[in-house]
Amino acid sequence: MIDPATILFTLIGLAIILIALLVIWPSITATRGGKILAFLALFILPVLCAAVGAAEHLERSKQTHFCLSCHIMEPYGKSLYVDDPTYLAAAHFQNHRVPPDQACYTCHTDYVLYGGFKAKLRGLRHVYVQYLGTLAKPIHLYSPYNNRECLHCHAGARSFEEGAVHNTDPQLLPAVKANKLSCLSGGCHEIAHNVAQVDHVKFWKRPE
Amino acid sequence: MPNGSSIERRLQLSGILLVLALVVEAMSLAWVHPAAFLFFLVAGGVLMAAGILVYLYSLLPAGSSSN
């Protein structure tokens, strides 16, 4: 399968060549064929390149590397390598419970209609705050983490539904599924990133 | 009617703006960072919009604005 970036760079190259022809010999637009070429080169291809380019940028914004490229996210990136299974983000990342190359996006998108779109709008807000706003210290989520994002994968899974701890109290699982009791509650999966302690813990080294 | 050379000049200007926009787009894709997205959106978007508008303007007959 051809990589979308390859298609995009091919389109950009083709558009540049056709536009260069028109810039060097603008008189060719006097003919009907020249007018069609101009419409293609100066309108259709640039709009197509912009649309495919925007889609490619949005796709790249899902990458773990993209999220961690801002300095403020550095400790969150380090927390993915903590050598402690009680660290929720690290356990998911290291055991490939989420795709490692899209780890942040997988857990922090909204699994609802237009959730991906909302996540991208939030991403634009992050970019605005990063460059033009005031960064909160420490940074925090705009809204409390919703169990729906965990349940997107875990609901129906045997380890989740039949897990001994999850079934100690018959009210627990219904409360979790109704988002009345957070998965991140104290005594449950309370350690997500714990960036305050990230410089005082042991790290896992990914094998080469 | 605008003469042939003025239309050609507008087409050339449009072409130059669009080539710059496409170069900006290609450069922004070489870098995975939020700033690259902004570069694509702001610099690339402005150049592309300007290039397309100049092209569309070159299609207008000269008399349409004076009416």
The yes-or-no verdict on residue A147 having pLDDT over 50 is yes
CATH of domain A69-200: 1.10.3820
Q: Are A203 and A83 in contact (CB under 8 A)?
A: yes
State the smallest CA–CA distance between residue B37 and chain A in angstroms: 6
The verdict on B24 touching A (C-beta cutoff 8 Å) is no
In this structure, the number of other CB atoms found within 10 A of the CB of residue A111 comes to: 15
Predicted confidence band of residue B67 (pLDDT cuts 50, 70, 90): very low
Domain ranges (residues) in chain A: 4-60, 69-200
Mutate to test the interface with B, among A19, A37, A48, A121 (most CBs of B within 10 A): A19
Is B22 within 8 Å of A49 when comparing Cβ atoms?
yes
pLDDT (average), residues A148-154: 96
Residue A98 carries which side chain, given as an amino acid letter? V
Please give the pLDDT value at position A46.
97
pLDDT (average), residues A88-94: 96
d(CA A72, CA B63): 57
d(CA B48, CA B55): 11
pLDDT digits (tens, 9 = 90+) for B2-49: 566 888 999 999 999 999 999 999 999 998 888 999 999 999 999 999
pTM over 0.80: yes
